[in-house]
Structure 1
Amino acid sequence: MSDRRRVVVDTSTLIGAALRPDSVPRRALIAALRTCEPCVSPATLQELREVLLRPKFDRYAPLQARLDFWI
């Protein structure tokens, strides 16, 4: 178990981080990854995958880039 502080990362933050590399959610996620132990539930990861597959997000990032973020 890590001594690092844990932080919960919700789906909307992950989606924002995936779609816009220069976004506040991306910067927050990077900061969390550097200083904390991010906690994400399996349900959150499943929701993230389902949302990132939606065609409406094609205008923000290509599908492969979105899937690369998810993996």
Structure 2
Amino acid sequence: MNEQRHFALCKLLGVKPAGLEMALLEARTYGMTHEVRQASALWMESEDELAQATTLLETAESIQRNRIYQELDE
């Protein structure tokens, strides 16, 4: 979902993914259309969700490693 929103925003702004940050800066400076503002908000939301998912995955991996170490110690 994150990639889809990322590419949709790039398409709206007419830029490649590498140029997205600069295009967003320019759009904020000169004014954004409602469509770009909404696409940007959706992308930012998916970035937050991705960060949360990554944190959960890292926590789960840490718990699993600790469980394996405990089992090996026993």
With normalisation by structure 1, the TM-score equals 0.32
Higher Cα radius of gyration:
2
Which structure: greater strand fraction?
Answer: 1
- Structure 1 or 2: larger helix share? 2
